[in-house]
Chain A
Amino acid sequence: MPSFTTSIAATPEAVETRLVELFVELAQIMAIGQTARAYADDASPAMPLNAAGMLSYLHGVGALREQLVGPHYVMDRACGIESVVSRNRTIRIGFQNVDKCCVHMPPLPRTEKGSGAESLSGPSLFEYVGMEPGPLTGVKPDGILTYYVMVGLDGSIELSCPVIEKGKYVEWIERIFIHSPEADWEAEPVADDGPLDDFDVSVSFKEG
């Protein structure tokens, strides 16, 4: 069985080139990711446990549209996926929360993906090897490649096009690394409700 060859854009030059081709800017994708993270951080202990993810999703989608709807993109809700689609209907961009981006190991979704996301991702593994799988979910794909602005728990961001099957990412058509925080991050941060005191107070001698 042939394996997918994932195209990865990780260097600043490669990322820039790909983003131009997709009619988006680095600053726009960064803004989407940062907005989502800021609202996730705003989840309070009194809210449900999944509040951080929900807030991230709600405001991430909002920011996605605020940033991208314009000359190149319009709003789209095909198959229930809240997204934007290019006016020439070649690219769709949605939003998803993931565990961590921009590292060798691909991101894992934080929630199971639905049939809509599955239908809009493609080609499926069956199609990739030339088999006709038939309708898997009852939702027909529209042939538009669907990318997602993926935002990790650590604030990492990538713009990637996964193949989704059975609620999970099974392969990757393309991954574009947008932002990776410098800090080490190995495991899902434990929800911490203790006092905050790690504030950066930067003081340095002036030159000359």
Chain B
Amino acid sequence: MFNSERLKTARERRMLSAKGLAERVGVSAVTLSKYENGHSPDDPTVGRIARALDYPVNFFFRDSPERLDTSTVSFRSLSRMRAKERRAAEAAGTLGIELYEWVGDRFNLPSADLIDLSKERHRPHVAARLLRQHWNLGDRPIGNVLKLIESKGVRALSLSEATTNVDAYSFWRGDHPYVFLNQEKTAERSIFDTAHELGHLVLHHHAGAKADKEAETQADRFASAFLMPESDLMDYAHLSGPRQIIAAKKRWKVSAMALAYRLHSLTYMSDWTYRSLCIELGKRGYRSGEPDGIERERSTVLAKVLTALWSKGLTKQTMADDLGIPLEEVEALIFSLSPNRPEPSPGLHLVW
């Protein structure tokens, strides 16, 4: 039976209005609205809808998707986001949950090991310290934040939204914390986003989502303190020039601006020095990007899953077919990873 929820999900993924899709399908907006509200289209129309949205026909006949409760989702940059961008990102979340449930049905995955720090939401630096203690991290920098949170059971997926307005978002689904990260950002920014979403997961979601500016500021402060513990940064309190900042930032895998902000917020840097530094870093291109950037972090869980599937002759296409979604959607969600295929034996050659 045709599933109207799936039609809506696919349309939102393609960032089309109901009217825009209706024109592509060759029906009236009213008719399309009926399809999205429970009326089943005939087979030729379903075919036209599938072609217009570039989704497999069988996608529209699967069970209702697990639509996100949007009130429980924390977006990184809500204010800049347009409604259709938000809906497209949320629809990606819907597909991401299905994908991870597909994986979870077949694989043993790390269990969630996060603690409820909502009581410390007004002291994000304390929350960051407590989480580091809980995970026995001490004050050392974290070489791979995505790998760390995955080892603690956070389910990380990627977003390939062609907009810089959608950074990242997170939510709890049952016992499973989810984080979605846009891959359009610099690697350093993405790492900060990861820590920011981790902040939301421990500070806000247990107490219900608070998609307000204060919650965003708290998550930012959590991320800053979690990535750059004061005790570790103390050795670098003398940093002041742009060259020093650019050289030092690699230790914490953060942007030059984030390091400068942290040093300033800890009063290791005067207002005047901070302002001058921001201007100088901006001139060097560090406001909009991260010249000489680091390698992007990718999902360790999904890389292992793909490699394990490959060993059984299964591929991303298998995943896409099972889920009834286009391969490109799967790739967009899994950080465009490819399985680590075993190296061919040197004694073997392809014979044409």
- Where the two chains meet, the residues of A that have a C-beta atom closer than 8 Å to any C-beta of B are 38, 41-47, 192-197, 199-206
A61 to B213, CA, bound (A): 44
- Would B143 and A197 count as touching, CB distance under 8 A? yes
**Is residue B337 within 8 Å, beta carbon to beta carbon, of the partner chain?**
no
Chain A residues with CB under 8 A of B138: 41-44
With contact pairs A44-B231, A197-B147 given, residues A203 and B304 touching in the complex (Cβ less than 8 Å): yes
Give the residue of B108, B148, B232, B253 whose beta carbon is less than 8 angstroms from that of A199: B148
**Is residue B109 within 8 Å, beta carbon to beta carbon, of the partner chain?**
yes
With contact pairs A42-B133, A44-B232, A206-B106 given, residues A196 and B300 touching in the complex (Cβ less than 8 Å): no
- Would A201 and B234 count as touching, CB distance under 8 A? no
Give the residue of A47, A195, A199, A201 whose beta carbon is less than 8 angstroms from that of B141: A195
Nearest-CB distance from B218 to chain A (Å)?
Answer: 23
With contact pairs A44-B229, A46-B234, A193-B232 given, residues A204 and B108 touching in the complex (Cβ less than 8 Å): yes
A192 to B138, CA, bound (A): 11
Majority secondary structure, B binding face: helix
List B128-187 residues whose CB lies under 8 Å from chain A: 133, 136-144, 147-148, 150-151
* Pairs across A and B, CB under 8 Å, 30 listed: A41-B136, A41-B138, A42-B136, A43-B138, A44-B229, A44-B231, A45-B235, A46-B230, A46-B231, A194-B143, A195-B140, A195-B143, A195-B253, A196-B141, A196-B142, A196-B143, A196-B148, A197-B143, A197-B148, A199-B144, A199-B148, A201-B150, A201-B151, A202-B151, A203-B108, A203-B110, A203-B301, A204-B308, A205-B108, A205-B308
A79 to B28, CA, bound (A): 92
User: Which 6 pairs from chain A and chain B are nearest by CB?
Assistant: A197-B143, A195-B143, A44-B231, A199-B151, A46-B231, A203-B304
Give the residue of B107, B141, B234 whose beta carbon is less than 8 angstroms from that of A205: B107
Chain A residues with CB under 8 A of B136: 38, 41-42
Q: Which of A43, A195, A200, A204 has the most CB of B within 10 A?
A: A195
List B264-315 residues whose CB lies under 8 Å from chain A: 300-301, 304-305, 308
Nearest-CB distance from B250 to chain A (Å)?
Answer: 9
**Is residue B82 within 8 Å, beta carbon to beta carbon, of the partner chain?**
no
What is the chain B residue whose CB lies nearest that of A198?
B143
Q: A47-B231, A197-B148 are in contact. List 19 more A-B contacts (CB 8 A).
A: A44-B138, A44-B231, A45-B231, A194-B140, A194-B143, A195-B140, A195-B251, A196-B148, A197-B144, A199-B150, A199-B151, A201-B151, A201-B300, A201-B304, A203-B308, A204-B308, A205-B106, A205-B107, A206-B105
Chain B residues with CB under 8 A of A43: 138
Nearest-CB distance from A202 to chain B (Å)?
Answer: 6
- Would B110 and A202 count as touching, CB distance under 8 A? yes
What is the chain A residue whose CB lies nearest that of B233?
A46
With contact pairs A46-B231, A205-B106 given, residues A195 and B133 touching in the complex (Cβ less than 8 Å): no
What is the chain B residue whose CB lies nearest that of A38?
B136
Chain B residues with CB under 8 A of A44: 138-139, 229, 231-232
A43 to B139, CA, bound (A): 8
With contact pairs A42-B133, A197-B144 given, residues A203 and B305 touching in the complex (Cβ less than 8 Å): yes
Q: Which of A44, A192, A193 has the most CB of B within 10 A?
A: A44
